[in-house]
Chain A
Amino acid sequence: MSARIAGFGATALAALALLALVPRLGNAYYLALAISLLQYTVLATAWGMFSGPTRYVSLATTAFFGVGAYTVAVLGEILPWPLVLLTAAALGAIVAGIVGLSTLRLSGVYFVIFTFGLTELIRQLVVWFEVNKSRVLGRYVFVNITQADIYWQLLVLTAAVFLLGWLIARSRLGFALRVIGEDETVAKHCGINTTFAKVALFTISATVMTLVGAIMAPRWTYIEPSIAFNSMISFQVLIMALLGGAHRLWGPVLGAVPLTLLFELLSARFPNTFTIILGCIFLLIVYMLPRGVAGLFEKLSTTAGGKPTQRVAA
């Protein structure tokens, strides 16, 4: 077992080292694509970390991403970069803690709606503050961060997220969450502090999302609420995680990578019919891969060597 883990760790490190060389290719387009891939990989994995085991569907990704981006907009030129990232992470954790404590008693569709509303709430708060207090809307981020720096930071964050997810899955917390996902009432009766477990994981996942927002912000120079709090991010991340399969730590990657590449391909080849094609593809995904790519792999490996089941082939 430990030999397998060591082997896996070595492979992961090698992959990491290889990926770290991408900026050396010297092609800004591939670098931009790689940044996009990493961004969605981290977001979808962080989303899956909480929503996978607990089965709470969260649309708050944008809210945390935006908090991170806005922290950079406000503090980017004042504080040194590591401090900016730390502040962003702390802010994300605080917001997630408050939100988690007040809402994770909700369940099902109520939680979905609340998290969607949360993005709008935070965005309106930012607008209100900027309009009435600071009297500027739209801030400029001039920090000395190159595209390669953004890439490397995201790469480190990706590695950290996977490590964290792996550790959590093996911990008591991870076990508690799986029980909650199966049946929350049973979990309570087993003596699991369900609120603590849920809030803890929600906070961890949200902190990661906030960091992604902070790391990405220097790419745009100019940040205003509509840019930072773009609710498309929530939906894209959700779809990626679902396509990949949120019940596995490595599942969301299987959705994030192909979908990011697909978005890229569609916007390059079919700029004018992008949304129509995208809609059709989503329908196909939902009908053909209800348990995501990860589910498909599992199914294939259980029917070892056999044909895929009819449902998949349809």
Chain B
Amino acid sequence: MAPVDAPWEEKMMTFLTRRTALLAAATCAATLGLTAIAEAQTSIKIGYAISRTGPNTGGAAVTTIPNYELWVKEVNAAGGIKLGDKRVPIEVVQYDDRSNAEEAVRALERLINQDKVDFILPPWGTGLNLAVGPTLNREGYPHLAATAVTDRAPELAKRWPNSFWLLGTSADAAKSLVELLNKLRDEKKIGDTVAMVSIADGFGIDLSSAARPALTNAKFKLAYDKSYPIGTQDLAPIVNEIKALNPDVFIAFSYPPDTLALTEQSRIAGLNPKVFYTGVGTAFPLYKQKFGKNTEGVMGIGGWSGDSPAIKDYLARHKAAANGAEPDRWASAVTYASLQMLQQAIERVGKIDRAAVIMDLQTGTFDTVIGKVKLENNMPTRYWWVGQWQDGEFYGIAPAKNEGARAAIVPKPAWVAP
């Protein structure tokens, strides 16, 4: 303010010059700001920390890393992500979280505060996605968890509105499986004896504790229900015991190593129930490589619409980009779809505005390889829960109401000599 005792003209002058100066300063700042923004937008920085070493490596190497790399390559080949009326390429910053929760959290904090990335892609697996949840929420980054299955997903989505749980809940997985069995029994294709084994780890426990009451309520006879510790080498005793019980349905909520071991052992022992279902790993390309013709009729968790042109095209592109390696038939396509969703959300917003991108992810409809996706309460409305190997492809068969669901082949054909 000008001095009170100054003459009127002087006051006016001071006011004017001040206002002019202010205006000039504001214009300058705006111009500078604009240039700064224009400069910052020569690329979009996308960061991720992924397990390149440690126990999560296998899962990350099959499901997550190839899709991140494929997506970045494709987007950049097309000129980048469209911001307003121009395209800006993606610049990647990536770290190894060494399959360690503490490391994953710290790597994300480094990405956010040091590398100042615009967006972050999530790590692989349920545990690590939960570990990084609070950080991404606090910093306001969208969190598209495409490889986490947790029963608390709906609650987490409420707690962290920036998080999206694209792979669903294990309770849902068990429910879909039991519904399928129920239908098969109504069609007189199977009886009601079920043998169930589960791995004594997060996945096995969650699914078996959801499946147990569902099976009992549906009046199935649970003839065998045991768990085995993680890292069990010899599964022959379990398979032989189950074979003696001659069940109609064999369910294994297993992890990749034991999924392979149980299948191999069942083939050797001749355990060939009408429904043969194994857990994580059944949908892996490795499973097909290892068992070839013997995969026919094997059911497992996951699946995709193998007949859809979008999926066929995705499979071809993935193979071309990853030296012939195929994606798994469960979380891979979902992971790729999550990246398409992120890209579409950014392009619709038209600038790096994470809050707006989160809002768009919550409310928008997305065109992806797994079809049209519209989230409700930050979760998709449809999942593939049971898949079956049919003629060398792992097709989704349940929930049956899903578009592209194939009919189940029951009973499972006999094992053949490899």
C-alpha gap A221/B127 in the complex (Å): 9
Q: Is A111's beta carbon under 8 Å from chain B?
A: no
Complex contacts, A32 vs chain B, CB 8 Å: 105-106, 109-110
Q: Would you call B100 and A221 a contact (CB within 8 A)?
A: no
C-alpha gap A241/B130 in the complex (Å): 32
C-alpha gap A227/B125 in the complex (Å): 13
**Partner of A224 from B96, B127, B135, B159 at Cβ < 8 Å:** B127
Q: Is B334's beta carbon under 8 Å from chain A?
A: no
In this complex, the member of A33, A226, A275 whose beta carbon has the largest number of chain B beta carbons within 10 angstroms is: A226
Which B169-217 residues have a C-beta within 8 angstroms of A?
200-202, 205-206, 209
Chain B min CB distance to A102 (Å): 25
**Partner of B53 from A31, A127, A275 at Cβ < 8 Å:** A275
C-alpha gap A272/B94 in the complex (Å): 10
Complex contacts, A274 vs chain B, CB 8 Å: 53, 96, 98
Q: Is B139's beta carbon under 8 Å from chain A?
A: yes
Chain A min CB distance to B60 (Å): 13
Chain B min CB distance to A104 (Å): 30
Q: Would you call B209 and A135 a contact (CB within 8 A)?
A: yes
C-alpha gap A45/B132 in the complex (Å): 29
Complex contacts, A272 vs chain B, CB 8 Å: 52, 96
Q: Would you call A138 and B126 a contact (CB within 8 A)?
A: yes
Q: Is B232's beta carbon under 8 Å from chain A?
A: no
Q: Digitize A116-152: 1 where CB-to-B-CB distance is under 8 Å, 0 elsewhere.
A: 0000000010011011000111101010000000000
C-alpha gap A136/B209 in the complex (Å): 8
Q: Would you call B107 and A267 a contact (CB within 8 A)?
A: yes
Q: Would you call A27 and B131 a contact (CB within 8 A)?
A: no
Complex contacts, B55 vs chain A, CB 8 Å: 226
Q: Is B246's beta carbon under 8 Å from chain A?
A: no
Q: Is A222's beta carbon under 8 Å from chain B?
A: yes
Complex contacts, B95 vs chain A, CB 8 Å: 267-268, 271
Q: Would you call A222 and B130 a contact (CB within 8 A)?
A: yes
C-alpha gap A227/B97 in the complex (Å): 13
Q: Is A286's beta carbon under 8 Å from chain B?
A: no
Chain A min CB distance to B215 (Å): 15
Nearest to A39 among chain B residues (CB) is B102
Q: What is the size category of the interface that chain B forms with chain A?
A: 35 or more
Q: Would you call B202 and A224 a contact (CB within 8 A)?
A: yes
Complex contacts, B94 vs chain A, CB 8 Å: 271
Q: Is B112's beta carbon under 8 Å from chain A?
A: yes
Chain A min CB distance to B361 (Å): 21
C-alpha gap A127/B200 in the complex (Å): 7
Q: Would you call A28 and B109 a contact (CB within 8 A)?
A: yes
Q: How many residues of A contact B (CB 8 A)?
A: 36
Complex contacts, B159 vs chain A, CB 8 Å: 142
C-alpha gap A274/B94 in the complex (Å): 13
Q: Is A220's beta carbon under 8 Å from chain B?
A: yes
Complex contacts, B200 vs chain A, CB 8 Å: 127-128, 131, 137
Chain A min CB distance to B64 (Å): 15
Complex contacts, B109 vs chain A, CB 8 Å: 28-29, 31-32
Q: Is A230's beta carbon under 8 Å from chain B?
A: yes
Q: Would you call B114 and A138 a contact (CB within 8 A)?
A: no
Chain B min CB distance to A48 (Å): 22
Chain A min CB distance to B158 (Å): 12
Chain A min CB distance to B20 (Å): 36
A140-B130, A221-B133, A222-B101 as given contacts; A268 in contact with B205, CB under 8 Å = no
Q: Would you call A220 and B131 a contact (CB within 8 A)?
A: yes
Chain B min CB distance to A38 (Å): 13
Complex contacts, B98 vs chain A, CB 8 Å: 267, 274
Q: Digitize A219-257: 1 where CB-to-B-CB distance is under 8 Å, 0 elsewhere.
A: 111101011001010000000000000000000000000
Complex contacts, A222 vs chain B, CB 8 Å: 101, 126-127, 130-131
Chain B min CB distance to A216 (Å): 7
Q: Digitize A195-238: 1 where CB-to-B-CB distance is under 8 Å, 0 elsewhere.
A: 00000000000000000000010011110101100101000000
Q: Would you call B127 and A131 a contact (CB within 8 A)?
A: no
Q: Is B134's beta carbon under 8 Å from chain A?
A: yes
Q: List, sorted by A's number, 9 A–B pairs whose CB atoms are closer than 8 Å.
A: A28-B112, A32-B106, A137-B201, A138-B206, A226-B127, A227-B100, A232-B100, A264-B106, A272-B96
Q: Footprint of B on A, CB under 8 Å? A: 27-33, 36, 124, 127-128, 130-131, 135-138, 140, 142, 216, 219-222, 224, 226-227, 230, 232, 264, 267-268, 271-272, 274-275
* Chain A to chain B: the 7 pairs with minimum beta-carbon distance, closest first: A222-B130, A29-B113, A271-B96, A138-B202, A131-B200, A32-B109, A220-B101
